[in-house]
A and B are shown apart, each in its own frame.
Chain A
Amino acid sequence: MKNESTVIDVPAESSSAMKGSAPLIGVARDHTTNGSGGYKRGLSIFDFLLRLAAIIAASVAAGTMFTSDETLPFFTQFLQFEAGYDDLPTFQFFVIAMSMISGYLLLSLPFSVVTIVRPLATAPRLLLLVLDTAAMAFNMAAASSAAAIGYLAHNGNQNTNWLPICQQFGDFCQKTSGAVVSSFVSVVFFIILVVLSGVALKRH
């Protein structure tokens, strides 16, 4: 083990030149903290706002369907003169599902705040993505099954002799259709939320 020595010649320059021409040795661009943290924080804020909007959409859907009762001013001996969401099991499922989704969204707000405060943490985002995917599927199931029943109520089915009840219960049908539309809006919000979480999880 012998020590090696080397001699390096450092050319001395005039003091003014040394002061002025300090070489900029690559301004270290901080890729790991502030740069990507900034846009991810923006995504998290957008995520939080979308969650608030989705809470409104889901609770409006549940509430509209829940209060969609209609009582006709007349009656016949064959047909019922009252219609409510609890006459159709699919609509009952819809109300329960949309309420659960509103509750889930409320409970997920703290996690969203955590991703705003710590934009680079992956565990909260991954948890939110997985739960949002499941909630989105659940939401879509409730919305589309209620839409199928609503379509049937509007149009009936001649092959199975199912009569369209909307011709008697116009208000009921309108309110349930509005609830279904609001639920589909909530599904769109969920899709955007899932894609946002996926983009924010991206590595650099």
Chain B
Amino acid sequence: MAKESTTIDVGEPSTVTKSTSHEKKKGFVAAAARGGYKRGLSIFDFLLRLAAIGITIGASSVMFTAEETLPFFTQFLQFQAGYDDFPTFQFFVIAIAIVASYLVLSLPFSIVTIVRPLAVVPRLILLISDTVVLTLTTSAAAAAASIVYLAHNGNTNTNWLPICQQFGDFCQTASTAVVAASISVVFFVLLIVISAIGLKRH
């Protein structure tokens, strides 16, 4: 077997190695920068979750304690009103409590996305479960809002009388709880959008 030989000129090695290592550093900095803005998104996500926990716990407990007892009574109307007089408000209290506990359980996942901003799986899990919980929250808030609207205005066509004229405090407290739940819906939409942007590839 005849051996062939060839001569390769390796010219200017020092500058060549300098430029490749410079490119490597640039690539590393770019990766860290990409991770940087995603880490910022994750921190914002975490803070939003904390705020949403506060608001949902507030909404659920406000509705839970929305009782009123009138100082008089008649032979037709009840003189007590509480959240358990309305199945929709019962659903509201339970659903918002479930949402609050979900948010607490999702905090570790949010921390994982802060620590590993480029990981896809935690963000995808958060996106899917946030979507489901968004529908639950919206459902509870909207159903309670429709009952609160009915209690304020009544309906002449169906002969449903507006009870807020007797139970003013109860109506006010229930309305506050519904408004708080609606704010938490906005937070959830923001959380979903943050997760989606964090998932984006480059």
Q: Which residues of B contact A7 (CB under 8 A)?
A: 5-8
Residue on B with the closest CB to A162? B160
**Secondary structure at chain A's binding surface: helix, strand, loop or mixed?**
helix
Most buried by B among A126, A129, A144: A144
Size of B's binding interface in residues, CB under 8 A: 63
Check if A5 sits within 8 Å of B128, measured CB to CB.
no
Given the known interface contacts A10-B3, A11-B3, A202-B124, the answer about A87 and B8 at a Cβ–Cβ threshold of 8 Å is no
CA distance A90 to B151 in the complex (A): 13
Q: Which residues of B contact A90 (CB under 8 A)?
A: 146, 149-150
Check if A204 sits within 8 Å of B201, measured CB to CB.
yes
Q: Which residues of B contact A9 (CB under 8 A)?
A: 3-5
Interface residues of B in 1-40 (CB under 8 A from A): 1-13
Interface string of A5-16 (1 = CB under 8 A from B): 111111111000
Residue on B with the closest CB to A200? B199
Interface string of A86-101 (1 = CB under 8 A from B): 0111100000000000
Interface string of A76-94 (1 = CB under 8 A from B): 0011100100011110000
Check if A159 sits within 8 Å of B157, measured CB to CB.
no
Check if A202 sits within 8 Å of B120, measured CB to CB.
yes
CA distance A202 to B78 in the complex (A): 56
Interface residues of B in 142-199 (CB under 8 A from A): 142-147, 149-151, 153, 155, 157-161, 163, 185, 188-189, 192-193, 195-197, 199
